[in-house]
Amino acid sequence: MASFSGFIRKSPDARLAVFLNAKGVHAPDDFNWQSEGRGTKLVNDINGLIAELPEGTQDRVKAELDHLASLATPQTMTAAEQVCTAQRIDLEGLQGIQDVLLMLAIDHPKTLERVAAQASLMQRTGGKNWSAFQFEDDGEPWALGDDIARAGFVTDAIALLNLPEHRKREADWYTSIRVHPITGEETEVLQATIYVEARAESELTFGPSEGLERQVFQRVLEVGIACNAKERIVEICANGGKKIRDQYASSFAKHFAPQSAPPVEAPRRDVLLNALLSNPSFPTEPADGIAKVQVSSLEFYSVGGGFARFEHLGDDETIYQFLERQFGAQSPIHSTGWTITGATLRIMQTPEDGTGLSVSDDNQCRFLTISGDRFNAAQHGRCC
């Protein structure tokens, strides 16, 4: 877990003061929030204020600061924008992720938990515990707002966890607004986080007697779903493997889209393409059997609504040198208003006979085409 020292140094004075005051940490009127340029002295001074609290309260305040520090990432900022926009919580004018997290912790603690769950879902998107399912666009509306359908789906989800009926459970349904990173188009997504008491675990702690005691803690399992009714896609994030997520998808179809054809798994994964704005290096190992990797095409989107694609193959210059030679400072790599949306990597394999390799040797090549939301590969030909 991240230390809250850096979080404190980056937090706005006024918001931090309000948060600490709400937790019972009261700074004197002459407290210097700018001591040594918000360095170590500020952190030590605030730790000194926390140390004046009862020991149990100290632990709670520090634990909450640690939690907020662990959330202070660009990914969480995106999650906050998605959730808060749908909740009509205005983030305009706030001074970064620290300011946002402190504001939510003070004024909207329930929304803060949703933001944390959303950030976790985003982090696991495309991972081993995530699946996306595509429904056919048959024109039949989904019953996403039906309370009976929601209750039935939650019951099925809990049954799949194979836990006793007496375990506590809670389902939090809310909407988020996803903004397309290129076109800026907004899409409303219904999300749910299902919380269920997991099997108990025990740990050694220091109890009231100040000696070691064994205490039992009830852990919590989470299942996350995101329903994009516009694109007819349901994302499911849950432990248990592909077969379990297939069952979640079947349950979703049964309760929310009973008249639709069964969905098809359609895994997708966002790809960060900014690294390809300059000529990247592709380290390889001799055992890989790869002689060379080069970027052979780049695709761009303009804020004016246009698309452009450039392709260049040659041993004499790279596509980056080609764009520099042809367009100079007006190249979409440098000009404002252009966003990279795709690229093709040309992977040249080492010839088995040990001879040289030229750009015409497509029999020895793979082309890997990457776009902003998916990737695929083809051998012995272009995949564009």
**pLDDT tens across 324-365, in order?**
999 988 899 988 888 888 888 888 887 765 554 444 444 456
Q: Which residue in this structure is represented by tokens 């990797």?
A: 293
For residues 238 and 131, is the Cβ–Cβ distance under 8 A? no
CA dihedral 199, 202, 206, 207 (to 10 degrees): 60
DSSP 144: T
Question: Residue 162 class from Cβ within 10 Å (0-12 exposed, 13-18 middle, 19+ buried)?
Answer: exposed
CA distance 369 to 126: 17
Q: Which tokens in the block code for residue 149?
A: 């359908």
Q: Of 1-5, 146-150, 158-162, 370-374, which range is least confident?
A: 370-374
The rounded percent of the chain whose pLDDT value lies above 90 is: 34
Q: Of 185-189, 218-222, 240-244, 375-379, which range is least confident?
A: 375-379
The chain-wide mean pLDDT, for the chain, equals 83
For residues 245 and 149, is the Cβ–Cβ distance under 8 A? no
CA distance 139 to 116: 34
Q: Of 83-87, 366-370, 376-380, which range is least confident?
A: 376-380
pLDDT score at 381: 31
For residues 368 and 345, is the Cβ–Cβ distance under 8 A? yes
Each residue of 60-104: pLDDT tens digit? 999 999 999 999 988 899 999 999 999 999 999 898 899 999 999
Would the pLDDT of 379 be above 80? no
pLDDT score at 182: 61
pLDDT score at 172: 93
Q: Give me the sign of the Cα torsion angle 262, 264, 265, 269.
A: negative
Q: Give me the sign of the Cα torsion angle 191, 197, 203, 208.
A: positive
With 0.75 as the threshold, say if the pTM is over it: no
CA distance 347 to 343: 13
**Alpha helical stretches, state H, the chain:** 4-10, 13-22, 40-51, 55-71, 74-86, 96-107, 109-124, 147-160, 242-256, 319-327
Q: Please name the amino acid found at residue 97.
A: I
252-256 average pLDDT score: 95
CA distance 267 to 234: 11
pLDDT score at 68: 94
pLDDT score at 144: 93
Q: Which residue in this structure is represented by tokens 């020292």?
A: 5
Would the pLDDT of 190 be above 80? yes
Among 26-30, 350-354, 374-378, the range with the most confident prediction by mean pLDDT is 26-30
363-382 average pLDDT score: 48
Q: What residues does 227 pair with on adjacent strands?
A: 190, 234
Q: Which residue in this structure is represented by tokens 């400072």?
A: 329
Q: What residues does 134 pair with on adjacent strands?
A: 233, 264
pLDDT score at 124: 80
Strand ordering across the sheet containing 307-311? 307-311, 290-302, 338-349, 365-371, 375-379
- Reduced to 3 DSSP states, what percent helix, strand and coil does the chain have, rounded to the nearest 5? 35, 25, 35
Q: What residues does 309 pair with on adjacent strands?
A: 299
pLDDT band of 251, cuts 50, 70, 90 = very high
Strands 307-311 vs 186-206: parallel, antiparallel or unpaired: unpaired
CA distance 152 to 248: 12
The rounded percent of the chain whose pLDDT value lies above 70 is: 86
Each residue of 200-230: pLDDT tens digit? 788 887 766 677 888 777 778 888 999 999 9
pLDDT score at 164: 77
Using left for φ > 0, alpha for ψ between -120 and 50, and beta otherwise, residue 361 falls in beta
CA contacts within 13 A on the Cβ side of 188: 8
Each residue of 60-71: pLDDT tens digit? 999 999 999 999
pLDDT score at 268: 55
pLDDT band of 374, cuts 50, 70, 90 = very low
